Amino acid sequence: RYVLPLLVDLNREDKLPCVAFSLDPNFCEALAIRILNTLERLERAADEREGGAAEKRRQANIARRAKKLVKRMRNRNKGNSMAGPSPAATGASGKKLTHDEIARANAAREERRRQDEELRLAAAKMDQDEIDELMDVDVRFSFVSDTERPSREDLEYWLTRLRKNTGWPVDHPLIKALWRGVGVHHEGLPRSYKDLVETMFR
C-alpha cells in the first residue's frame, strides 16, 4: 500500500523512472496490476466528478486518428504516382551488375516488401478502438507524460509484435500498466514485452 504513494512522490520530484527489485516475480506482476487497478479507479472517479472528460478525450482522439488516416492515404497516393521504373541494373559503384546479382537484389527487395506487408496486415487486424482505449489515459493518473509516450505508429508496431509472439490482447493488464508507466521485468516474461519495457524505460 506504500508503493503507489512513493511513486507519486518520486514523480512529483521528477525522480522517475526508477527500478524496484523483488525476488518474487509473481509479486512484481501482482503489484503492477494492483497499481493499475487503483489508477484506473481514481481516473474513473475523477471523470465522474468532472462531467465526462474521458468521453471528450475519446472524441478528440477519433478526430485526430481520422485526420492522420487521411494524411497517410494522401501520402500513399502521392508515392504511387511518383513511382518510377525499377532501379537500373548498376551497383553503388556504377558498375554493371551480373544477372545473378540483379536476381539476388530483386529477391531481397521482394522479401522486405513481403515482411512489410505482413506487418501492415497484422497491424490492420488490431481493433483500432482497443488501441484508442489503451491510449486514452488521463496523465494525472499515469507516470508517463504524453510527450514521453511512443507515437501511435510505434505503439501499433510493438503491439503487433507482442500479439504475434504472445497472443496477448491489447487490454492485457501488463500492457495497460506499462502504458501508465509501470513495467515488470523478469526472466519468466516474453522477450517482446521486456523489449518494450526497456524501450519505454530509456
Three-state secondary structure of 32-48: HHHHHHHHHHHHHHHHH
DSSP characters over 105-139: HHHHHHHHHHHHHHHHHHHHHS-HHHHHHHH---G
Average pLDDT over residues 152-173: 87
Question: Who has greater pLDDT, 28 or 136?
Answer: 28
Query: Mind listing the pLDDT tens digit for each residue in 112-156?
Result: 887 777 666 655 555 677 787 788 888 899 998 878 888 888 888
Residue 166's nearest CA partner among 147, 145, 186, 192 is 192
The Cβ of residue 40 has, within 10 Å, a number of other Cβ atoms equal to: 16
Which pTM does this prediction carry?
0.63
Backbone angles phi, psi at 96, to 5 degrees: -70, 130
Average pLDDT over residues 63-71: 66
Average pLDDT over residues 166-194: 92
Q: What is the pLDDT of residue 201?
A: 87
Q: What is the pLDDT of residue 39?
A: 95
**What DSSP designation does 96 have?**
B
The least confident of 12-16, 38-42, 65-69, 95-99 is: 65-69
Compute the distance between CA of residue 55 and CA of residue 125 in angstroms, rounded to an integer.
25
Mean pLDDT over the full length of the chain:
81
- Ranges 49-63, 80-94, 108-122, most confident: 108-122
Cβ(190)–Cβ(162) under 8 Å? yes
Compute the distance between CA of residue 11 and CA of residue 20 in angstroms, rounded to an integer.
14
